[in-house]
Each structure stands twice: as structure tokens, then as C-alpha cells.
Amino acid sequence: MTHFDARETRDPAERERALLARLPAQIAHARKTTAAFARLLANIDPAAIDSREALAALPVTRKSELLELQKGARPFGGFAAVSWGRQTARVFASPGPIYEPEGNRPDYWRLARAFYAAGFREGDLVHNTFSYHMTPAGSMMETAAHAVGCTVFPGGVGQTDQQLDAIRDLKPNAYAGTPSFLRILLEKADAAGMAVPFAKAFVSGEAFPPSQREALAARGIDAYQAYATADIGLIAYESPAREGLVIDEDVLVEIVRPGTGDPVAPGEVGEVVVTTFNPDYPLIRFGTGDLSALLPGASPCGRTNARIRGWLGRADQTTKVKGMFVHPGQIAAVLRAHPAVARARLVVDNPDMTDRMTLQCEAATDESLRAGLIASLREHTKLRGEVAFCAAGTLPNDGKVIDDIRRYA
């Protein structure tokens, strides 16, 4: 079978109808069972949230805010619908710490689909080098491998000599972990004159450029990547087409302008915002803080869901200018007051070692508009700034709202 299930090849319109049909019930569930969404969605009629336009009107909860929210209401900030007991198999701590529950369902993180696309099948022995200590990555990979019928060796991180001993004895044909740790294992094996039996690899947690993939292919290792988080689970995954990452079947993904909840035009770089249908941890419009963009068209592999370009950087571009923090949301507020500006970015530099802000705007030169923008900048940032006009389509499509190019001697 080429695909994990028939949902991957559905008509896109059928998929969209099915996802949106599930949305009102998930909104109602989140509001009823979690203190956080009872507050955030108090004035929302769940039945009315049946379109992407209606979803886009709801508030975004960003990962950058979750740490403080959890500190105020341990362990999950009021966002989990479960507590300890049979429903919650494990609880993990990501750096911060941010705590995440793992429910008691098979393949809780939904990564089996990505493993299948990477060629993992029943009977494979997977050498899993993601951490099993405190953080969820080890469990995320192990439960996915089990769901496609694999056996797992829980290698975890470090102890490379013992790991190579296990690889020599057990001869696993598959690897799961970061690409950098795979490189370390291969280099140590080469130094020891030892052959490594990996024929396939599933990597995540780091950038995985084509050069690394090609270097592994030259050694006979077919490697695929996926984009997943400890909060959401699988978001998107690579397929044999090698053209972007296919969005998972059980999430709604939006790409929004950083600092706002406003969806960007198709193809434009913005922040990845995800709504999950997980009943245990029902995150609605969760801002990952990662940048990406939608790709046009369908994947040549036959999977018909939308695709994203992959990880393109971080959306949190907050910077400090003359001792004052400037946030992307402040720049968004400036632009909302001036709809004549199609796109803009705030460039921060320091000629003569003095901080300077320049709002670069795609708009026709207009002195009254310039004066209004300068006044709005001062109102929202409490700082003086300059305005420079440029032609439509000339600003880079890189998701940056604030571009800090200061240099220090």
C-alpha cells in the first residue's frame, strides 16, 4: 500500500468539509472542559465556528505565552481537558518548563502517518535515539513506530559506544532521532571500522537540508523529516515526492502574519498556527512561533492535502530599541490604521552606533500618509521612526515584520 490510509488521497474539498464539520464540536469541547478556553472563548457560539473565516476571528494562544500561563495554573495552564489517571499515561516537561500530557490512546501524537511515508513498515527494528528523559520526543517516536508494526530499541541520547555495541549486535535497519546524532554515530562507526545497517531514517528536531539528505543517501540511508511539536504532535511530514511537507489529516493549519491572528495570502511567509482535534489537550489556534508558507498545488506522491515549505525560522521578532521592546503586534497595529499600505517591515539599524527605526512600506509615496505612519509608530512604540516607501512586491517574502540589522564593532 502506497499511502497510510484513504484519507490522504481524498478530494481536497471533501477533506475541508470534514475538518470544518468537526470544528464546532471541538470548540464546544474545549470551552466546556478547560478553564483556559472557557475564559478565552466565553463569548463565542461554537456552532458559528464552521469556516476558516470564523476560526480566524478567534484569539491565538502562542507558545511563547504558554510558559507564563502554566506558571499561573500548574500543570497545564488550564488548557488540558484531563488530569492524572487512566486517561493520562505520561506527563512530560519541555524546556521552560512547559508541561505536556500524553493520553492513553495508541499513536497519541499521530506520527505513524509520517513514519509510514518514510518507508517504515511492520518488521523493522528502529533504533530510537530521541530522549526518553523528561521530554516527549522518545515516546512520540516509539508510539508511532509501534503503530506501524515496528520493534523499537530505546537508545535515547548519548552513550555512543554502548549504542554502537547495540547496533552491532541487533542490526537495526531503521533510525529515529536528530540528523546531527545520526552523523555522530556514523562518524564513530567509521572510525571503528564498523558497518552501520541503517537503510532508512526518520529525523526531526533540527534543520535537515538537502545536502544532509544526499550525504545519507550516498551511504544507502533513505532519510525523511517531519515537523511536530510536543504540544500538537504531528503537523506536517515529508513524502517520497520530496516537495515540501504534507499537512497531517487531523489538524487545521493557518499561516498568519506574525504578531497577529490574520491569515496571510497563499504563498506568503508567516507564523504557523494550528488547531488540533485532540480531546485531551484541545489547543485552538495555537501559535507555534515557527515561520513557514503554503506551497501551491498538490504533491506528486498522490497525497492531496496542502503542503508547507518547512521550517523557515522563528516568528517572534521582538527587539529592543533604545531600551524599549518593540513587538510585531505593535507594527501590525500601525498598519491596521493605514490600509493604504499593502505590506511593511520595520528595519532597525544603528548608523553611528545610534539605534534607528525605518518602516519600509509598499505604497505610493504620499507625504500625508508618511506623517500619519510616523505618528502611529510613535503612538504604538513610544519611539520615533522614519518611513520609506517602496514599490509593491519589492519587500522580501520571508515573514519578517521586524528586521534587526544592527552591527556592533
State the average pLDDT over residues 159-165: 95
> Average per-residue pLDDT in the chain?
94
pLDDT tens string 196-211? 999 999 999 888 889 9
- The pLDDT value given to residue 95: 81
Model confidence at 370, pLDDT cuts 50, 70, 90, reads very high
Q: Hey, what long-range contacts does 273-276 have (CB within 8 A, 24 or more apart)?
A: 273/60, 274/232, 274/235, 275/23, 275/26, 275/55, 275/251, 276/232, 276/233, 276/250, 276/251
Q: Alpha-carbon distance 329 to 336, whole Å?
A: 10
CA 193 to chain CA centroid, nearest Å: 39
pLDDT tens string 302-316? 999 999 999 888 787
Whether pLDDT at 322 is above 90: no
State the average pLDDT over residues 60-72: 90
Kindly report the pTM of this predicted structure.
Answer: 0.85
Whether pLDDT at 1 is above 80: no
- The pLDDT value given to residue 59: 97
- Dig out the grid coordinates for 238 from the structure: 515529508
Task: Output the CA angle 350-290-398, nearest 5 degrees.
Answer: 50
- The pLDDT value given to residue 67: 84
Element (H, E) at 183: helix 179-191
Q: Alpha-carbon distance 23 to 15, whole Å?
A: 13
Q: Alpha-carbon distance 256 to 247, whole Å?
A: 16
CA 300 to chain CA centroid, nearest Å: 23
- The pLDDT value given to residue 408: 62
State the average pLDDT over residues 13-40: 98
Cβ atoms of 228 and 235 within 8 Å: the answer is yes
Lowest mean pLDDT among 70-79, 312-321, 340-349: 312-321
Percent share of the chain, pLDDT over 90: 82
Task: Return the domain boundaries, the chain.
Answer: 319-404
State the average pLDDT over residues 345-358: 88
Say whether 141 sits in a helix, a strand or coil: helix
Q: Alpha-carbon distance 55 to 32, whole Å?
A: 18
The better pLDDT of the pair 239, 96 is held by 239
CATH number, span 319-404: 3.30.300.30
- Paired sense of beta strands 88-94 and 125-128, if any: unpaired
Whether pLDDT at 409 is above 80: no
- The pLDDT value given to residue 327: 81
Cis (ω within 30 of 0) for the bond into 197?
A: no
DSSP state of 37: H
State the average pLDDT over residues 248-274: 95
β-pair partners for 292: 270
Model confidence at 84, pLDDT cuts 50, 70, 90, reads very high
pLDDT tens string 106-132? 999 999 999 999 999 999 999 999 999
Whether pLDDT at 323 is above 80: no
- The pLDDT value given to residue 73: 94
From the CB of residue 164, how many other CB atoms can be counted at a distance below 10 Å?
16
Cβ atoms of 117 and 224 within 8 Å: the answer is yes
Q: Alpha-carbon distance 236 to 343, whole Å?
A: 28
Cβ atoms of 118 and 213 within 8 Å: the answer is no
- Dig out the grid coordinates for 135 from the structure: 521530554
